[in-house]
Structure 1
Amino acid sequence: MTAREPRLEIEYCTQCRWLLRAGWTAQELLTTFTTELGEVALVPGTGGVFDVRLGGETLWSRKERGGFPDLAVLKQLVRDRIAPDRDLGHSDRHRKAQPE
């Protein structure tokens, strides 16, 4: 069996018990990107990790950014790479309201 593309991975810390957060994040992304994502994988890790990768590119790292991603921001990061012309509705309002 081969992986479908694009593959999104959520690596979460098992020691911190972040499986539910990772699962909820995966559910939200799969609900938003029903046809654009080929696969979402939950990857167990340790040491406080919560990283989101798309096709090997790290979109979010809890250690680098100092916290968990806001879901609207994460959806924008994913969308910008797999469906740049897609409107995210209310998730885009925050970004569009900011002056450039």
Structure 2
Amino acid sequence: MSEVSIEYCVPCGFRERALDVERAVLNALEGDLDRVSLVMGDHGVFRVSLDGETVYDKDEDDYDVDDIVRAIRDRL
């Protein structure tokens, strides 16, 4: 089983975005994962990782919750 980590910038107000991704991941993949965790960060970070490998980084990808879930599913 696998672990998803959602790191988000607290000062930037990305908590709701992180919660939206967490909810979507759990709804779609809950039975395939051991853990989904929220990691508080700063400096504009918003990154989603699966088992330590980045599947989404706001600096490199367009934000789309469905795309993030698909990327995780594809790597499982």
TM-score, normalised to structure 1's length? Answer: 0.71
- 1:77 maps to 71
Report sequence identity in percent: 34
Following the alignment from structure 2 to structure 1, what is the Cα–Cα distance between the partners of residues 56 and 43?
Answer: 16
**1:11-22 mapped onto 2 (5 Å cutoff):** 11-22=7-18
- For structure 1, list consecutive stretches of 5 or more residues without a partner in the other structure: 83-100
Question: What is the one-letter code of the residue matched to 1:78?
Answer: I
Number of matched pairs? 76
- For structure 2, list consecutive stretches of 5 or more residues without a partner in the other structure: none
Which structure features the higher share of strand residues? 2
Structure 1 position 19, deviation (Å): 0.9
Question: Which has the higher relative contact order, 1 or 2, with Cα contacts under 8 A spaced 6 or more apart?
Answer: 2
TM-score, normalised to structure 2's length? Answer: 0.91
When the two chains are superposed, the root-mean-square deviation of aligned CA atoms in Å is: 1.1
Following the alignment from structure 1 to structure 2, what is the Cα–Cα distance between the partners of residues 47 and 39?
Answer: 25
Q: Specify the structure having the higher radius of gyration (Cα).
A: 1
Following the alignment from structure 1 to structure 2, what is the Cα–Cα distance between the partners of residues 19 and 12?
Answer: 7
**1:1-100 mapped onto 2 (5 Å cutoff):** 5-65=1-61, 67-68=62-63, 70-82=64-76
